[in-house]
Structure 1
Amino acid sequence: MQQRYQNLKIAQRGVIVSLAAYITLSLLKIIIGQISHSEALLADGSGNVTDIFSSCAIMIGLRLAQRPPDENHQYGHWRAETLATLITSFIMLLVGLSVLYSSVSDFIAGNKEVPDIYALFVGLFSGCIMFGVYLHNSYLAKKINSDSLLAIAKDTRNDALTSLATSITIIGANFKMPWLDSIVALLIGLTILKTAYNIFSDSAFSLSDGFDDELLAKYTNAVNEIPGVELVHNIQGRSYGANIFVDIIIWVDPQMSVRESHHITEKVESLLRRKFGVLDTDVHVEPWDVDYELTRPNELNSH
């Protein structure tokens, strides 16, 4: 358990790296975007502003998630991390709509200003920095199994691609295609909205106790291989941040002693923890009902 709290602190350090990069690059892009008349660079900078707020929300969530269980939170405060991720999706949604409105207005108005060429170097520089941050945080996220840090890493990767795309539009605008700038700003806005939707969907799924059916199937198959387990009758899983909790009902021989059945539950808990990283498993033992299995095979096979 202590290692999991330590992982939250490691995730915080990764968020700090992203936050420092976002603050620096968003200021640079917005200032240069204004000076060089680049709508795409301004849109890219606005996207980084949302990332600043998102990173702050994740930092708060990670901090709250480190609180130990109490009377009102028996499973701990792990979901604070997921809740913070959900909040970031709403922030990104608002900024994405703002960027869309600005780009469409400029396109309809026929804005023909050509971005200065030095905006190109800002885009290239930002893209390289963001890709480096993505590699750093992606490595950390996979190492400590942090969904929030992985989400930030993926968003950083999108920012890197966006910055490089911005550079391409600046080149195009200087080759008598200034309309390309507004088009890319529009695409950036849509990208922000798509990212916001994906983050919202994943967070809402987790907060509503949704769980991956494929993982449940793997858990079921593994537990069914344990000697003494006649059948996994029912299994449910839920996520609290990066932590997995499983409730499982197994059928055993009705003639088995309490001591023997308890020993099997310990094997189930150990297997799921060791092989799949399940933090907590609640195992309920019931006597094997052969008649039920024969009359309701479809229900049993679905678990």
Structure 2
Amino acid sequence: MELYTNLRAGEKGAWLSIGTYIFLSAMKLIVGYVGTSSALMADGLNNTTDIIASIAVLVGLRISQKPPDSNHPYGHLRAETVASLVASFIMMGVGLQVIVSTIQNLWNQTHEAPSLLTAFVAIFSAVIMYGVYRYNLALANRIKSSAVKAAAYDNRSDALVSIGAAIGIFGAIFGVPILDKITALIVGIIIIKTAIEIFWEAVQTLTDAFDIDEAETLWKLIENVEEVISLVDLKGRSHGNMSFIDVTVTVNPQLNVRESHAITEKIEHTVKHFNPYCMVLVHIEPHELVQATEEDYHF
């Protein structure tokens, strides 16, 4: 099935992120410690959490590939959303740790300027992370994976953090040493902001929120399907990169079962053409019955 093939393809993005984060976090922590840069060390600590977050995404993608069973009739597609939720908590904890430790260090009056090497490491890291972001974003758009897209946005955030760290380091080198620690504070705030955004998107999915614009588009498309008299109701929810739609439409009450079934197939084809990763359940109602029901409740 193409859906599970795409989930396996999404693992490539997770593995790329994990490998890149392991390399960059080790380099930043070592160079930041030797070169006395709080900003670079905070950036490196941020990347260590990204390793855990990427592993969580990888595990979620693996679990999502499990087929439906008796306890999960819709499959395990929301596992990647749960993984994103777990990753957001990890990032939040590290962001708070960076802020607390940096505030404690602000009271230290001996602000030693970091070495120039730390600035170059931060710039190098920003370039690498931007490349990983572009790869994962293209992959996420191709396979329609919310988890890989969240990982891509995290990659972009890390690139921006590294740029900010470089600016802070250069400022500290050229006469304002405390600027390095101020930048570390900003890094912590960016980590928390990214964690909140990932958390909010995961919560929206897990509570069955559905994109309003997509719902409106689907409503118009289904209303225009031949032989559909009216669209009475439309509900939607997301499971990973899949959408499940329930619709109720009215048709000519004189149609037989075969003709009514043909209409449901037209609706399914229309929805699939709009979104290949959308499953639709169609409920057919005779139009006269719906009209009578509406009149019963009209005062």
Task: Report the TM-score when normalising by structure 2.
Answer: 0.95
Name the aligned partner's letter for residue 236 of structure 2.
Answer: G
Q: Which whole-Å CA distance do the structure 1 matches of 2:60 and 2:68 have between them?
A: 15
In structure 2, the residue corresponding to 1:43 is in which secondary structure? Answer: helix
- Asked if 1:72 corresponds to 2:64, the answer is no
Deviates more, 1:250-259 or 1:102-111: 102-111
Name the aligned partner's letter for residue 22 of structure 1.
Answer: Y
Name the aligned partner's letter for residue 291 of structure 2.
Answer: V
Deviates more, 1:112-121 or 1:87-96: 112-121
Deviation at 1:277, TM superposition (A): 2.2
Cα shift readout 1:263-299 (whole Å, capped 9, x = no counterpart): 10111111101222243211001112235567989xx
What is the aligned partner in structure 1 of residue 112 from structure 2?
A: 113
Q: Which whole-Å CA distance do the structure 1 matches of 2:91 and 2:72 have between them?
A: 29
Q: Which whole-Å CA distance do the structure 1 matches of 2:94 and 2:251 have between them?
A: 56
Q: Which whole-Å CA distance do the structure 1 matches of 2:201 and 2:266 have between them?
A: 32
- Asked if 1:266 corresponds to 2:268, the answer is no
Q: Which whole-Å CA distance do the structure 2 matches of 1:293 and 1:273 have between them?
A: 31
In structure 1, the residue corresponding to 2:250 is in which secondary structure? Answer: strand
Q: Which whole-Å CA distance do the structure 2 matches of 1:237 and 1:10 have between them?
A: 26
Name the aligned partner's letter for residue 228 of structure 1.
Answer: E
Alpha-carbon contact 1:233-1:250 (below 8 Å) kept: yes
CA 230–296 in structure 1, closer or farther in 2 if over 3 Å, else same: farther
What is the aligned partner in structure 2 of residue 27 from structure 1?
A: 26
CA 111–3 in structure 1, closer or farther in 2 if over 3 Å, else same: farther
What is the aligned partner in structure 2 of residue 301 from structure 1?
A: none
Gaps of 5+ in 1: 298-303
What is the aligned partner in structure 2 of residue 290 from structure 1?
A: 291
Deviation at 1:109, TM superposition (A): 3.1
Q: Which whole-Å CA distance do the structure 1 matches of 2:229 and 2:108 have between them?
A: 71
Q: Which whole-Å CA distance do the structure 1 matches of 2:215 and 2:281 have between them?
A: 14
Name the aligned partner's letter for residue 115 of structure 1.
Answer: P
In structure 2, the residue corresponding to 1:109 is in which secondary structure? Answer: coil
CA 227–115 in structure 1, closer or farther in 2 if over 3 Å, else same: same
CA 278–219 in structure 1, closer or farther in 2 if over 3 Å, else same: farther
Alpha-carbon contact 1:111-1:179 (below 8 Å) kept: no
Q: Which whole-Å CA distance do the structure 1 matches of 2:44 and 2:294 have between them?
A: 60
Deviates more, 1:117-126 or 1:252-261: 252-261
Q: Which whole-Å CA distance do the structure 2 matches of 1:46 and 1:246 have between them?
A: 42
What is the aligned partner in structure 2 of residue 300 from structure 1?
A: none
In structure 1, the residue corresponding to 2:107 is in which secondary structure? Answer: helix
What is the aligned partner in structure 1 of residue 99 from structure 2?
A: 100
Task: For 1:1-303, list aligned pairs within 5 A.
Answer: 2-288=1-287, 289-291=290-292
CA 139–169 in structure 1, closer or farther in 2 if over 3 Å, else same: same
